[in-house]
Structure 1
Amino acid sequence: MEGLRTDKEGDLVVVGEKPVRNYVVACITLFNAGASTVRVRARGKHISRAVDTVELLKRVFIKDLRVEEIKIGTDELVNEEGKDVGVSTIEITLTKPEMSQTVNRALTHATRLLGRRRW
């Protein structure tokens, strides 16, 4: 369920069990591929990891990144015992202004560095 997706609403990163850096790289990859909007979605205990992903992107890699919208909600699921349970959800919509070639090269370099770095 986690990882990169493209659907009718645009590019989507679904946050799960992987380290935050994986989701940061996924977002940078989508932006470098030409996406103007990226959505970061998570449920339950992974919500904090989605927020960490967005904050790391904003503070370290894409300084002018904008949070366009934050949607919160509850998904109704049936657990193993057959009971209805609610799981909290978050979806953060990010946009970035058009960037020059120099900045795009810097993002590519940052992506390479993230691949080598331990968080």
Structure 2
Amino acid sequence: MEEESEIAEINAEATALAEKPQRTARDPNDNTIYVGKKSAMSYVLAVVTQFNNGAKEVSIKARGKVISRAVDVAEIVKSRFIADLKIKAINISTEELLSEDGSMNKVSAMEIVLLR
């Protein structure tokens, strides 16, 4: 009896895991850094790593309050780490996101494209 309940419990856990949406694997050729809550230096390291791995172009994307952090990341990389870095483009936009209560919220978004 005890063994049957353990098997049932394991099957229930496996079913729950299978039903969870799985993260999609990121394209290794996609040189996009999404800025979030981490420190700016974490994203600086990610950008520099992309360039050191042979990327000619890296895109830094951010939404909302962390847009200023994305700008900081681009400026730190340009001034302290890669002197010949050029800013290819800066794109600003507004994205609509569905909130938990079901309403649509508009959020500012920015993309900074860096070129080596």
TM-score range, shorter chain: 0.7 to 0.9
Give the superposition deviation at 1:7: 6.8
Identity %: 45
Q: What's 2:69 paired with?
A: 49
| Number of the residue aligned with 1:73 | 93
- What is the CA–CA distance in structure 2 between the aligned matches of 1:6 and 1:12, rounded to whole Å? 10
Q: Which is richer in strand?
A: 1
Contact 1:12/1:40, CA 8 A, preserved across alignment: yes
Contact 1:13 1:40 in 2 (8 A): yes
Counterpart position of 1:33: 53
The 1:42–1:7 alpha-carbon spacing in structure 2 relative to 1, beyond 3 Å, is farther
Name the amino acid aligned to 2:93: G
Larger radius of gyration: 2
State TM-score, norm by structure 2.
0.74
CA RMSD of aligned residues (A): 1.4
Show CA shifts across 1:44-77 (max 9, x none). Answer: 1110110000010111111111000011101111
Structure 2 partner of 1:22: 42
1:112 match = none
Superposed displacement of residue 80, structure 1: 2.0
Scaled by the length of structure 1, the TM-score of the pair is: 0.72
Measured in 2, the distance between the counterparts of 1:64 and 1:18 equals 26
The match for 1:87 among 96, 102, 107 is 107
- Letter aligned with residue 90 of structure 2: I
| Stretches of structure 1 lacking an aligned partner (at least 5 in a row) | 97-119
State the partner residue of 1:12.
Answer: 32
